[in-house]
Every structure is written in C-alpha cells, then in structure tokens.
Amino acid sequence: MRESLKTLIIAKNKNGSRGRLAWHGAGLLSRWGSPARVQIPPAAPFRVQTAPPTLSRLMVPVMLKVTILGAGGSAPPPGYGGPSILLNHRENYAIVDCGENCLSSMTLQGVDPCKIDYIYISHVHIDHWAGLPSLGVKLIERKCPYLTVITHSDAYDELRSYLSIFMPSTLNLELKKLSLKEELFLGSYSGKIFKVYHKVPTYGVIFLGEKGEPLLVYTSDTGYKKELIDSIPKRPKALFIEATLPSGLEEIAETTGHLTVTQAIRLASLLDPSFIVTVHLSESSLRELLNKKRENVIIPRDGMTINL
C-alpha cells in the first residue's frame, strides 16, 4: 500500500503538473494574507475568545503544516531534540534534517513514521542525521521498510558511507543525489537549495509559493556572510534561521560556521521576513532569546506547529 502510494507520488512529480499545482495552492493562501497560526504544545496560554472565527477564516484551508521536531543544535537545551522539521502538505510528509529524537518527537506528535515520503539532509554533520538509524529500525518494526533520503551532491559520498554503517541492513534505503541546479521534490511540493557557509558543504532550502514568492526559508547551519543576502529572496513569510551561540561569541561563530543570536537577528532583519523562527538552539542562546523577546521572533519548543 505504501509502495503504491509512493509510486503514485513519484509518477505525479515526474510530469510536474500536480506538484506545481498543489504547491501553488500554498502560495494562494499566502496571497490572501492569512496570518501564520502557531500551535504550541503542551498547553497554549488560555485566552478568552470574544467572537467566533469569521466565515472566511473557516474556509481557508491549511495548506502547509510545519512541525518542529527538534529546535536544538548539536548541544541542545534540556528537553530539546536535534535539528529537524516536518512538512505536511495534503497527504505528503517530508522531513528536513533528522536530528536525534526525530522519531520520538514524531511519536509524541502522533505522526506515523510510515507516512514519511522523503527526508532531506542539509549536510553530513551527525546532529543533522543522527535520528535516521532509529527511524529505520522503527520502519522495519512497522513493516514499512522503505525510506528515501535526499542530499546534495557535495555530501552524497560521505553520507552514504555513514549510512551504510549505521542504518539497519534490512531497510530499503534509497539515497538520492541532488545536483545543485535541480529542484528538491518533497512529495507534492518542491524547494530550491542554496549554499550557506559552514565547516562542510551545507545547503539551506527555499520553498516558494504561487508566484515564486518565498514562503519558507530554512538556513540550516551557517556563518554570517553578506553573500547570504544575495542567495535568499527578500521578505519570505517564514525564516527558520539558526541561532546556535549567545551574543558575544562572534569569534567562535566565525570559526565554527554558526550564528550568534545578534547575528541571526541582524541577518533576518536584512531579509525582512514576516516572522523568524530561531532554531539549532543551545541552552545559552535559548536563554538569551527568552530574556529579550522580539515581536516577530518565534522561539520554538519541540512539537510546535506552524500553518503557512
């Protein structure tokens, strides 16, 4: 059943028609100006609803659901998993990076791992794929032992050698190589990868809406470089930006290819997104963000869902 579904999705992607149409729907939602709706588990603050939702709001369908499976970095704050976001568009599920706890976070959110169609890995650092082996074991246990992992051509050989050691051998693992000119197809929608500045070759992703407007940008791990401004379209709706280090550690950030909180906010302000989601957090960067809250900055918890 799963295999036939997967074949169907791939077939539809090959002719390109459904993929584009479906993704364009998400852009339409953006054009209508629907605000991002954020659900924060476990308990959102209680608010008195003074008026029922308007009819037009009720009629707006949820097009792209983004669930943060892990908002931590290589040394995550207590209670946070490694970097991972889950994208759900209609019946398609894809994961961008699969940090440690990716599986348990999915389980907590009630997401069936057998439904995952694709996983994109942004670079070979272990905190971005450490969740793959346990996910592989779970897929075998659930009798749906198929997994398609996509990475860019610069990371392909190295990631393949790691996965050949760590992934369960009975899993039907397909590792796909993405050339830098190709679009990243993740089920019924696609994204464009762009080079960022890290210690190893690393690529972020831009998901576009109906008229090519940037809907969701994910930076993955990157240092502060002016060139990034030219690679990322201005005014994306959601900017998922790494904020690994607290302010004051800019020298370490430059050496390690990461951003401090100040650098992340400065870079984000140049891109002028509707809102920023800080990810790849450490305990100290999280503390700094919580101490100085900013209007359009979302400080996530694992399990947070954002509807675009």
Which residue, 88 or 222, is less far from Zn ion as judged by CB? 222
Question: Looking at beta carbons only, is 154 or 221 nearer to Zn ion?
Answer: 221
The interface region with Zn ion, picked from 83-91, 117-125, 231-239, 246-254 by CB under 5 A, is: 117-125
Phi-psi region of 97 (alpha: psi -120 to 50; beta: other; left: phi over 0): left
242 sits near Zn ion (criterion: CB under 5 A): no
**Quick check: 221 binds Zn ion (CB under 5 A)?**
yes
Q: Does 152 bind Zn ion (CB under 5 A)?
A: no
Neighbours of 56 (CB within 10 A): 9
Binder of Zn ion out of 89, 125, 152, 237 (CB under 5 A): 125
For residue 255, the minimal CB distance to Zn ion (Å) is 13
Please, what is the minimum distance in Å from the beta carbon of residue 124 to Zn ion? 8
Q: Minimum distance between the CB of residue 249 and Zn ion, rounded to whole angstroms?
A: 16
CB of 24 to Zn ion, least distance (A): 33
258 binds Zn ion (CB under 5 A): no
> In angstroms, what is the C-alpha Rg of the chain?
19
Q: Based on the shown chain and the rule CB under 5 A, indicate whether residue 100 belongs to the binding site for Zn ion.
A: no
Distances (CA, A) of 289 to 2, 241, 298: 42, 13, 9
Contacts by 37-44, CB closer than 8 A, 24 or more apart:
37/306, 37/307, 38/298, 38/304, 38/305, 38/306, 38/307, 39/304, 39/305, 39/306, 39/307, 40/301, 40/304, 41/109, 41/301, 41/303, 41/304, 42/303
Judged by the rule CB under 5 A, the positions of this chain that interact with Zn ion are 125, 221
